[in-house]
Structure 1
Amino acid sequence: MNLMETIHLHKNDFSKTERKVYDYIVQNPTAIETATITKIAELCQVSTSGILRFCQVLGYKGYKDFRFDMLHYLHQEHVEVNSENLFDELTSKYLSVIRQFNNIDQNKLNQLIKQIKNTKNIYVIGVHYSSLPAKHLVLGLQDLGINTYFAYDYMQASHLYNTIHEDDLLIYFSIEGNQNNVSRFFDLTNASKNTYMITLNPKPKLLIENTLILPGYTLSKQSIVDLQSIVVIFVELLLNMFHNTLKED
């Protein structure tokens, strides 16, 4: 019996408050991927104690243990669908990810927008599949009159990185957030406070203080291609939010 079957099995054991948690998680299981217990409580419109009681009914000590098993379930999930239902199945998964955009750290997002607005030189790096959303951001900022530099391979990025000054802003796109290839060409482990990484990986190996984690990592593991589309949608939101600050001036 998998975790979702266990949750359904306990449906009649939940209190009225716990039933709210049940209803939300059954409809949005991938929300667990990036949400803290506080955020899940907010989304379910219950207290954190309600989340804990929900987990305990299922036999867990707390949310952390429940979340661990849910992530395992999501990563192992392989739903067989016929060709007629495949489009609906994939559309549903993408919509579920997009609904999780409100889990993105709003403080860091607003901080990034503020730095884009107040920084003279902006450098954007995105390699391989990450180059598409990175280029999309560069073109969008240039259309808005923002001085932006772009590198789309590691060799080019290593040269560009050497021209960055402490007051400049660096935005690094990496779907996986790995450091192996990066460390061969430039060192982001000691990145300044003006460096941001945008990734789908909730536990990236490359540790940067200003990291924006986007939803969709589970879906990226089920897809035959890297999920550039999710990051591109984020870039669209970022550009629109930035443009709105320009109109306010």
Structure 2
Amino acid sequence: MDGSFNTLELIMDAFKQMHLHAGELTPTEHKVLDAILENPEAILQSTSTMAAQQIGVSQSAVSRFCQKVGYENFGDFRMNLMLSLSSSTPSLHEGEGHDPIDYLCDMMRATNESLKDGTPEKLTERILTAENVYTAGAGLSSPPALMLSMELLKYKVPCYYMQSGQEMIYMHVAEPDDLIVIFSSKNDTQRLLLNVIQEKTPAKRPYTVMVTHNSSHPLRKMVNELIVLPTWQTERYPVYIEPMTSMLAFCSILMVEVSKRIGTDPQMLPPIVNGKRIKTRQNS
């Protein structure tokens, strides 16, 4: 037997399996099927609990659906769905011999292309007209939140990075003229923060933007604006690229627009050595 067979041939095609068993599904399970066919990428980025919340069914309904279409559990189904999407959708770069670094560059371009309808320009306008800007992000979504805050400070834009656990302190003084930018890939870790904002009357709430990888983010209805960025899965790349990459690219693209609008060079933040601020030629 030839040992060079394609392992994808041993994987059940998720879409064929779903259509094969569609007649066996209950109305609730059909609701799961319709949601998956409409937006399979959102399912790839979800746990069974998150998928159930997004679709509006119970977690057990999602599990029953997965078993009825031939899979042991949701994790097994999700893995096959990812492989089916990757194998059934031709890569834009198929046959070009791309190195991993090429896909990183492609992700930068994909991020830029995802920002439609003048998103960077509109967000820049909000940033520069806001009284204060606050950024937030947990886990791997925290580096882009910190990056945006530090970059805005170089242009003397009053911006505060809210570390995890300190969001409530900042929200105590947040005003309606402020702007909040939340980085959240797919989870509801910022629910407490958004609940506090929702407790304010509409006239007293700061404008809230969420930068995410999931158009069906469980907290999407609690923000004023949702910016959805690409991932290696949505772009069908054959190599894994950390999802945070597109968020960092987004920050860089946004700061180019901020720099153009302000029209001056950024002032580097002074380094701190042994607890003392070191004066540089630029800030002395």
When normalised by structure 2's length, the TM-score is 0.51
> Are the equivalent residues in 1 in contact too, given 2:124–2:258 (CA < 8 A)?
yes
What's the % identity of the aligned pairs? 18
1:185 CA drift (Å): 4.8
1:212 correspondence with 2:206: no
Runs of 4+ aligned structure 1 residues displaced above 4 Å come to 72-76, 219-226
**SS of residue in 2 equivalent to 1:149:** strand
1:204 CA drift (Å): 1.1
1:168 correspondence with 2:178: yes
Q: How big is each residue's C-alpha offset from its partner over 1:153-176, in whole Å with a ceiling of 9 and x where there is no partner?
A: 1x1112222221111111111111
Q: Which stretch of structure 1 is more off in the superposition, 95-104 or 164-173?
A: 95-104
Aligned partner of 2:195 in structure 1 is 187
> Are the equivalent residues in 2 in contact too, given 1:123–1:148 (CA < 8 A)?
yes
> Are the equivalent residues in 2 in contact too, given 1:193–1:210 (CA < 8 A)?
no
Aligned partner of 2:104 in structure 1 is 94
> Are the equivalent residues in 1 in contact too, given 2:232–2:240 (CA < 8 A)?
no
Where in structure 2 are there 5+ consecutive unaligned residues? 1-8, 15-39, 43-80, 88-96, 265-284
Query: How do 1:57-96 residues align onto structure 2 when only pairs under 5 Å count?
Result: 72=81, 76-77=85-86, 88-96=98-106
1:142 CA drift (Å): 0.4
> Are the equivalent residues in 1 in contact too, given 2:191–2:219 (CA < 8 A)?
no
Q: How big is each residue's C-alpha offset from its partner over 1:23-61, in whole Å with a ceiling of 9 and x where there is no partner?
A: xxxxxxxxx979xxxxxxxxxxxxxxxxxxxxxxxxxxx
RMSD between superposed Cα atoms in Å: 3.7
1:148 correspondence with 2:156: no
1:203 correspondence with 2:216: yes
**SS of residue in 1 equivalent to 2:146:** helix
1:139 CA drift (Å): 0.7
> Are the equivalent residues in 1 in contact too, given 2:180–2:207 (CA < 8 A)?
yes
Instruction: Give, as a single letter, the amino acid of the residue that structure 2 aligns with 1:132.
Output: P
When normalised by structure 1's length, the TM-score is 0.58
1:225 CA drift (Å): 7.4
Instruction: Give, as a single letter, the amino acid of the residue that structure 2 aligns with 1:211.
Output: L
Distance in 2 (alpha carbons) for counterparts of 1:244 and 1:95: 23
Q: How big is each residue's C-alpha offset from its partner over 1:78-121, in whole Å with a ceiling of 9 and x where there is no partner?
A: 7xxxxxxxx94533443443332213233333221101111121
1:148 CA drift (Å): 0.8
Equivalent residues, number: 174
Q: Could you tell me which of 103, 118, 124 is aligned with 2:135?
A: 124
1:220 CA drift (Å): 9.6
Q: Residues 189, 162 of structure 1: CA spacing in aligned structure 2 closer, same or farther, 3 A cutoff?
A: closer
1:231 correspondence with 2:247: yes
Where in structure 1 are there 5+ consecutive unaligned residues? 4-31, 35-71, 79-86
